[in-house]
Amino acid sequence: MTLKSSRWLTAAAFAVASMPLWAADAPAANVNPEVERGRYLATAGDCVACHTAPGGQSMAGGLALASPLGSIYSTNITPSKTHGIGNYSLQQFSDALRHGKRADGANLYPAMPYTAYAKTSDEDIAAMYAFFMQGVAAVDTAPAHQTALPFPFNIRLSMSAWNAMFHDAKPYQADASKPPQWNRGAYLSEGLAHCTTCHTPRTALMAEDRKRGLSGGDLGGWYAPNITSHATSGIGNWSQADLVAYLSGQPVPGKGPAAGPMAEAVDHSLKHLTREDLEAIAVYIKSVPAVESADMKQAADSFGQARDDLDSIRGTELPRDFDAMTGAQIYDGYCASCHQAQGQGSDKDGLPALFHNTSLGHASSNNLVQVMLHGIQRVDADTVMPGFAHELTDKQITTLGNYLLTSYGNPAAKVTQDQVARLRSPEPEGGGKLLLLARLGMALGVIVVVAIAIWLLRRRARR
C-alpha cells in the first residue's frame, strides 16, 4: 500500500475513533478530512501533553517544564489571534516545528521537540496547521506563567549555535530499498512519535548519539531502556505482537506495563494510533540495528522466579523501628496483597508477576524506585499500582528495592538511599520528559558559557 492511500485510511479510521481529549473542546465541525488528518498527526506528536496545563484548557499552554535554570513554560498554541498562534502563517508554523523558530524569529528552547518533528513532511505539517487553525478552540488568555530564565540563559540566540552544530532540519527521506510499511514506521518513530528523543543516548552536548540510536536514554529520574533489536540488551526477544500490544496500553506477559513518561506517551498518543500505524512502528523498531549495553548480558524479562519467603516470616514479630524491617516483611505488609505471596501476581486481575518482568530486570533501578514511590498513573485503568511515597521511608524503599532485585529481578542492579531521596521529591509538572529538558538545559548552559568565553577572549584580544 502506498503512503498516500494509507493516510486516507488513517484519516477515516481516526474520524471513527473516539478522542475524549479533544472532543470536549473541538468546535462541532463539519468533518473536514484535512483537519481530521491533522488532528490524528497532532495526536501522534502528543502536542496536547505539553501544551496543556493540569486542569487547563486544551492547547492553551502554561505547563511548567522543570530545568535547572528555572521553569520553561509551554505556550498557548490555540488559534487565538491575541494570545495564541492565530496569526501564524503556514510557513511560520512549519518553521516552529522544523527549525525551532517562533513567529518573531526567536529560537525556541529544545523543550519543544522540534529536533524530531523536523522529520515531518510538508504535507503533514500543512494538515496539522489546518487542524490547529480550524479544529482547536481558541483560548484568548495567556498562560498563567511565562518563561523567564535568568541572564544569560534568556539569550535565545545561543540556541542558534546548537542548531547549527546538531540540528538536521531535513524532512524524512524514504529509503527506497525498504517496504512502505517500514518507511511509515521510521517516519513516525523518528518524527512525530519522537521515540528517539527519549530512547537515544546523548552526547556531552546533548545531541542525540545517532550511532547508538534507540540504545537507551537517561531522562534524569527515569531510564528509557534500550529498544534496539539486541536479544539481551534490547527488545530482540519481544515479538511484533508484544510491541504493538505494549504501545496500545495492553498488558503483555513478562513485560512490565508502561510507567512514567512512557505511560503518558501511550495514554495520550500511541494508543490512539491506528493498528496499521502501530504495526508499522513495530516493524521499524524491530529492525533497528542491535546495540549491546555492556551491563545487560541477560534479557530483562528472564530474571527471578517464584519465592516462598513469606512462610518463614509470617507470625514473627515486626521490629519496633520500621526502618529495621526486612525486605520480605515490607513486601508482605505492602505488596503481597496484590502481587501475591510468591510474587506471582494474578494475570486475570491485571496484577503483574514481579519475576520475569522487565521492570525488575534492567541494570538501572530508577524506574523501579519511581514506581514504588509514585505508582503508575494510567488513564482509564481498572486496577492501578499505588505509590508508597507517604507510607514508606527512604530506608524502607531501599531495603524493599534491593530485596526485590535480588529475589525477583536483576541482582546486579542496586537501590541506594540517596537515589530514593532524590527521586522522592514530587515530580515537576510535566514529569519525566521534562527531566530530559533539564539535561538539554545544561547543554544550553554549556553553549552559553562557551559563547561568553569566546566573547570575553575577543574583547581582551581587541584591547
Residue 217's H or E segment, with its range, is: strand 217-218
d(CA 175, CA 187): 10
Residue 159's H or E segment, with its range, is: helix 158-166
Residue 180 C-beta: closest distance to ligand HEC, Å: 18
Residue 362 C-beta: closest distance to ligand HEC, Å: 7
Other Cβ atoms less than 10 A from the Cβ of 123: the count is 14
**Is residue 125 a contact partner of residue 93, using CB atoms and an 8 Å limit?**
yes
**Is residue 391 a contact partner of residue 376, using CB atoms and an 8 Å limit?**
no
Please say which residue, 376 or 438, places its beta carbon nearer to ligand HEC: 376
**Is residue 249 a contact partner of residue 266, using CB atoms and an 8 Å limit?**
yes
Which cell numbers in the block locate residue 366? 530508577
Residue 280 C-beta: closest distance to ligand HEC, Å: 10
Other Cβ atoms less than 10 A from the Cβ of 415: the count is 23
Please say which residue, 222 or 458, places its beta carbon nearer to ligand HEC: 222
d(CA 156, CA 118): 19
Residue 266 C-beta: closest distance to ligand HEC, Å: 8
d(CA 319, CA 377): 33
Residue 352 C-beta: closest distance to ligand HEC, Å: 5
Please say which residue, 121 or 462, places its beta carbon nearer to ligand HEC: 121
Cα→Cα distances 303→51, 310, 364, 430, Å: 40, 20, 14, 32
- Helix, strand, coil share (%) of the chain residues, nearest 5: 45, 5, 50
Please say which residue, 179 or 253, places its beta carbon nearer to ligand HEC: 253
Residue 101 C-beta: closest distance to ligand HEC, Å: 9
Please say which residue, 223 or 460, places its beta carbon nearer to ligand HEC: 223
Please say which residue, 227 or 325, places its beta carbon nearer to ligand HEC: 227
Please say which residue, 6 or 389, places its beta carbon nearer to ligand HEC: 389
Provide the H-helix boundaries in 46-121: 47-51, 90-99, 114-117
Triad 73, 78, 81: Cα angle to 5°: 105
SS3 at position 65: strand
Please say which residue, 139 or 235, places its beta carbon nearer to ligand HEC: 235
d(CA 356, CA 343): 10
Residue 439 C-beta: closest distance to ligand HEC, Å: 12
Other Cβ atoms less than 10 A from the Cβ of 460: the count is 8
SS3 at position 148: coil
Residue nearest to ligand HEC (CB): 256
d(CA 282, CA 247): 9
**Is residue 432 a contact partner of residue 261, using CB atoms and an 8 Å limit?**
yes
Contact partners, residue 98, CB within 8 Å, separation at least 6: 114, 117, 118, 120, 125, 169, 171
Residue 89 C-beta: closest distance to ligand HEC, Å: 12
Please say which residue, 337 or 457, places its beta carbon nearer to ligand HEC: 337
Residue 4 C-beta: closest distance to ligand HEC, Å: 21
Residue 311 C-beta: closest distance to ligand HEC, Å: 19
Please say which residue, 130 or 198, places its beta carbon nearer to ligand HEC: 198
d(CA 13, CA 19): 12
Which cell numbers in the block locate residue 301? 524479562
Residue 53 C-beta: closest distance to ligand HEC, Å: 12
Lookup result for grid cell 524503599: 397
Angle between helices 180-190 and 275-287 (to 10 degrees): 90
Which cell numbers in the block locate residue 361? 530486570
Residue 92 C-beta: closest distance to ligand HEC, Å: 8
